[in-house]
Structure 1
Amino acid sequence: MNVRTEIIAGITTFLTMAYILAVNPNIMGDIGMDKGAIFTTTAIISMFSTLIMALYARLPFALAPGMGLNAFFAYTVCTKMGYDWSFALTAVLIEGVAFIILTETNLRDAIVNAIPASIRNAIGPGIGLYIAFIGLKNGGVIASSSATFVTLGTITSGPGLLSIIGLVLTGTLLILNVRGALLLGILGTTLIGLPMGLTTFGGVAGLPPSIAPIAFKFDFTHVFTVDMLIVVLTFLFIDMFDTIGTLVGVSTKAGMLRNGQVPHLKRAFMADAVGTTIGSMMGSSAIATYVESASGVAQGGRSGLTAFTTAVCFAVALIFAPLFLSIPGSATCPVLVIVGLFMLSPIRDIDLDDYSESLPAFICLVLMPLTYSISDGILIGIISYVVLNLLGGKRRKLTPTMYVLVVLFILKYVFIG
């Protein structure tokens, strides 16, 4: 192990995922959560979870509140379903505990295998389109329309123009392979917003805000409801698929597999599960292993020292709360669009010529942005998979677990909506 290489790799990973420190407060702030508290919680739980990965799993992967998971938390559970954010935090707590149990008992694989591969490969891209839609909406690039539901917003002035400038700037940095392109794009767009009157500068450094407004704010009133079950399962599905996809994908590219397996896989899952559980207590949405860890691995990171370095960077970032909280929605819009692009890659693994696989996958994918709901996309995708394969004479592809899930999901729509 080369210590210098591992440290540089850890810093590289941080630079490619530090955008979460700006994006997460903006997303969670949309539902009334204290943005300052969210920033502090995001930095602390990212540091804590990544330290577990470094010291327990000894792998070069970093963790933070997951993109897609935070969008589901804010825009599906709270905005569309109408629940308070304390309900969503309770769901994250339950999901975290369930994730720990599933990991410890090895039932995790049974859950993952219960979802058809084509649907699993559609979930990430669907979330990507959903996140991009949210970014464009929050950035003023698209707007509501009574005639067509959505339309192009004002992009010649105001937030819409700044979002377009930011997208061009960030995209150019990305194409030029500039290290930390997303973070630099956010900061550059924020600076451009100053003369436009769209950025309110609050300073560079200072003490991090208290997490008291959001910590331990649980609501157990609806624990035994169908809605809670659906929300917990959705968090669990997204969390597990994100994590296993990242771990396997990055490890494969880096040549880190041992006998075809990710080393210390169970410990890596436990880092994610424990991070999610502790994070919910601090007021965070669910934690995920970040695919941006691939940037550090590409720099030669192979051990827990890489993750440890990234964790230290998150700790240092705590003192820059005023800077990150000055970032407007238009500056995070480009990152949401680009992260949406990053999440499209699993489409390549869907057999588009086999309509028994591709049609349900497409339904799952397209319904997420169009219904403004990740959970509806997943549930209807699974329902359509079972129904289409059942009627298409391909019953052998269906498992008893699939039938059970479909009955539960149909009952949910019939009696709850």
Structure 2
Amino acid sequence: MKKAIDKFFGLSKNGTSIKKELIAGLITFLTMSYILTVNPNILADAGMDRQALFTATALAAVFGTLFMAFFANLPVAQAPGMGLNSFFAYSVVITMGYSWQFALTAVFIEGIIFLILTFFNVRELIVRSIPRVLKEAIPVGIGLFITLIGLKNANIIVDHPHTLLTLGDFSDHGVWIAMLGLLITAVLLAKNVNGAILIGIIISTIFGLILGDVSLPKGAVVSLPPSLAPIFAKFEWEHIFSFDMLIVVFTFLFVNLFDTVGTLIGVTSKMGITDKDGNFPQMKRALFADAAGTTVGAILGTSTITSFVESTSGVASGGRTGLTAVGTALMFALALFFAPLFLMVPPAATAPALVIVGLFMISSVSKIDFSDITEGLPAFITIAFMPFTYSIAEGIVFGMLSFTFIKVCAGRFKDVSVAVYIIAALFLLKIVMDAMHVIG
């Protein structure tokens, strides 16, 4: 058995062992298991069943991570992605007014398209055609958007009739639950403690119990996973040929594409297997795993699956092959039977995780050249529009439009690729059609 595992994953060739790989898989799980509480809380705001979402999140992580293990033999874990779940709930459903079934259908279509694009090697064409400055700006905008959601979930920021937003009431227990969690998580991260985000969530939840805002599970802590029936394969085909569906699918595809590529390059570079252009031998198979995970995740009833940068913690612990991913998948499978514990966590306790993930995502702002107005302004518009319009899609739309218009008006036509001209034209057409509909 050991020889078969060694041969399949290439353990000896990569200088690792079964024990080392499984321990690395456990560490990866600890650093990203917060998604089991955060994802259901976010998607529940779209009207989906929170208990069913827990099962869908865990199963999607299991399938997506196993795809990465066996398709690409990489120590990379997958689960519903942060930012994309926020776009699903707060942009498509709450802001645009569509049903969560519509959003789920868009995720499924995106997964199928991603499979096709990967098969025909179109990924490289898309990555090259999008302006680098927007690639750097989009994660920053998403980071701020996620942070805003976290602060709102904890009532640290609340709405105001005159100023739109204001500081929340500090007599609210949720504020203190989130503040304590943020402080604890920050200290643990500073000390390089594995599972810092998860530990922060646990301590915040215990604090909520002390304050009386959280109730212990009724009945057994260990139980069968909640049913998937309320959300399983609940697709809505009525609007699949609408312009809004095109915009939503494009945004899912666009963000997932660069999020996945960036994460994969980051993880594999720590393994020392990337070339000077950031490519590595298993790139195509890894993208297939990501696309397959998204497709299966949509059927299960959750938002887009993506590779998690937290996988670097497993790599740092010695993980080198897909067996690490198998170890992570096994832990997610085990977590399925502890749903009552994960579901007792309140939104205020997961708010620090959103703020910390937002912090991690804004680091690319340092790569943007704000001294060049034709680059800096489109980047700034992309970043600012996401939290201020409460929509990731609007940030991408107006970022692409401003980039195209400013470059053209400045006479720098060659800076704009043919693909960007086409995308900008489609976005402009959508705005004009919406305006005519309102006037009509």
TM-score (norm 1): 0.98
- Indicate whether 1:93 and 2:108 are aligned: yes
Task: Pick one of 76, 79, 83 that aligns with 2:91.
Answer: 76
Instruction: Within 5 Å, give how 1:98-247 maps onto structure 2.
Output: 98-202=113-217, 204-247=221-264
1:21–1:39 CA contact under 8 A, matched in 2 = yes
Q: Deviations over 1:266-317 (max 9, x none)?
A: 0100011011111111111010000111111111111111111101111011
Whole-Å Cα distance in 1 between the matches of residues 37 and 179 of structure 2?
Answer: 18
Return the letter of the residue paired with 1:309: G
Following superposition, the deviation at residue 353 of structure 1 comes to: 2.2
Following superposition, the deviation at residue 258 of structure 1 comes to: 4.9
- Indicate whether 1:390 and 2:408 are aligned: yes
1:194–1:200 CA contact under 8 A, matched in 2 = yes
Whole-Å Cα distance in 2 between the matches of residues 37 and 57 of structure 1?
Answer: 29
Which ranges in structure 1 are unaligned for 5 or more consecutive residues?
Answer: none
Sequence identity percentage? 51
Following superposition, the deviation at residue 155 of structure 1 comes to: 2.3
2:155–2:172 CA contact under 8 A, matched in 1 = no
- Indicate whether 1:11 and 2:29 are aligned: no
Following superposition, the deviation at residue 254 of structure 1 comes to: 2.9
Following superposition, the deviation at residue 349 of structure 1 comes to: 2.0
Following superposition, the deviation at residue 163 of structure 1 comes to: 1.3
Q: Deviations over 1:18-59 (max 9, x none)?
A: 000000110011121111100001001101110010011000
SS at match of 1:343: helix
Whole-Å Cα distance in 1 between the matches of residues 133 and 221 of structure 2?
Answer: 46
Corresponding residue for residue 298 of structure 1: 316
1:363–1:380 CA contact under 8 A, matched in 2 = yes
1:155–1:164 CA contact under 8 A, matched in 2 = no
2:270–2:315 CA contact under 8 A, matched in 1 = no
Give the number of equivalent residue pairs: 417
Whole-Å Cα distance in 1 between the matches of residues 155 and 408 of structure 2?
Answer: 43
Higher mean C-alpha deviation, range 256-265 or range 244-253: 256-265
- Indicate whether 1:2 and 2:14 are aligned: no
Task: Pick one of 296, 321, 324 that aligns with 2:339.
Answer: 321
Tell me which stretches of 4 or more aligned residues in structure 1 moved more than 4 Å.
Answer: none
TM-score (norm 2): 0.93
Return the letter of the residue paired with 1:196: L
- Indicate whether 1:284 and 2:316 are aligned: no
- Indicate whether 1:263 and 2:263 are aligned: no
Corresponding residue for residue 293 of structure 2: 275
Return the letter of the residue paired with 1:256: I
SS at match of 1:288: strand
1:80–1:373 CA contact under 8 A, matched in 2 = yes
Following superposition, the deviation at residue 348 of structure 1 comes to: 2.3
Corresponding residue for residue 326 of structure 2: 308
Following superposition, the deviation at residue 350 of structure 1 comes to: 1.6
Following superposition, the deviation at residue 403 of structure 1 comes to: 1.3
SS at match of 1:171: helix
Higher mean C-alpha deviation, range 256-265 or range 304-313: 256-265
Whole-Å Cα distance in 1 between the matches of residues 221 and 130 of structure 2?
Answer: 46
Corresponding residue for residue 358 of structure 1: 376
Following superposition, the deviation at residue 125 of structure 1 comes to: 1.1
What value does the CA root-mean-square deviation take over the aligned residues?
Answer: 1.2
Whole-Å Cα distance in 1 between the matches of residues 145 and 213 of structure 2?
Answer: 25
Return the letter of the residue paired with 1:273: A
Corresponding residue for residue 48 of structure 2: 33
Higher mean C-alpha deviation, range 74-83 or range 159-168: 159-168
Following superposition, the deviation at residue 352 of structure 1 comes to: 2.5
Following superposition, the deviation at residue 330 of structure 1 comes to: 0.5
Task: Pick one of 307, 313, 338 that aligns with 2:356.
Answer: 338
Corresponding residue for residue 7 of structure 2: none
Whole-Å Cα distance in 2 between the matches of residues 166 and 398 of structure 1?
Answer: 44
2:130–2:417 CA contact under 8 A, matched in 1 = no
2:143–2:359 CA contact under 8 A, matched in 1 = yes
Corresponding residue for residue 367 of structure 1: 385
- Indicate whether 1:62 and 2:96 are aligned: no
1:169–1:185 CA contact under 8 A, matched in 2 = yes
Whole-Å Cα distance in 1 between the matches of residues 329 and 212 of structure 2?
Answer: 34
Whole-Å Cα distance in 1 between the matches of residues 215 and 286 of structure 2?
Answer: 40
1:6–1:300 CA contact under 8 A, matched in 2 = yes
